[in-house]
Amino acid sequence: MTECFAEKRAARTYALENGVSYRTGLAAVRSRRAAAEGAPYARRLLIEAVEGCGIRHWARVDEWDGGDQATITDGGGESYRLTVADLAPAVADYRDAGAIDHPLDVDSYLADEIIQVMLFGCVIYRSEVRKRPAMVA
């Protein structure tokens, strides 16, 4: 059975079980597959954000299960729940753009950027970057 055939069969089954059109079923099947393919990237992003201190300069981590979800509170007191399923589409945009090739390409700085763009629409908190004093030879 080819991948295309399996996808169409799953879409027909989904459409019959849920009483929706074939196109809606196909879209649902494809979104599930995209989320499943992006899960290792999204999980790495969440780990880097929480444990790699990517978001610690603007948020406090209230709950963290070690891999799949975290609850954070920003400086203004607003709480957000981050899950691998929610982060997968955001990571897919960066993967499509070629910024991430492997899950280990996600570092804490990129994790911070992706989460802020997902939550706020842009990067509003910047970590303080200090230059080292110039060395005179």
1: confidence class by pLDDT, cuts 50, 70, 90: low
Q: Write the single-letter amino acid at 59.
A: A
> What CA–CA distance (Å, rounded) separates 70 from 54?
13
Cα separation, 123 vs 126, in Å, equals 7
Q: How sure is the predictor about 111, in pLDDT bands with cuts at 50, 70 and 90?
A: very high
Nearest Cα neighbor of 33 from 1, 52, 11, 65 is 11
* Interatomic CA distance for residues 137 and 121, integer angstroms: 45
Single pTM value for the model = 0.67
Torsion, Cα of 117, 104, 82, 124 (10° steps): -30
Over pLDDT 70: what percentage of the chain?
A: 88
pLDDT at 33 over 80: no
pLDDT for 119 beyond 60: yes
Gap between the Cα atoms of 81 and 50, Å rounded: 12
Q: At residue 133, does pLDDT exceed 60? A: no
If one compares 18 and 135, the residue with the highest pLDDT of the two is 18
The contacts of residue 71 (CB under 8 Å, 6+ apart) are: 61, 62, 63, 64, 79, 80, 81, 82
Domain boundaries, the chain: 38-120
pLDDT in tens, 41-85: 899 999 999 998 889 889 999 999 988 899 999 988 999 999 998
* pLDDT (mean) for 2-23: 87
Cα 31-46-99 angle, rounded to 5 deg: 70
Contact yes or no for 7/32 (Cβ under 8 A): no
Lowest mean pLDDT among 4-18, 74-88, 90-104: 90-104
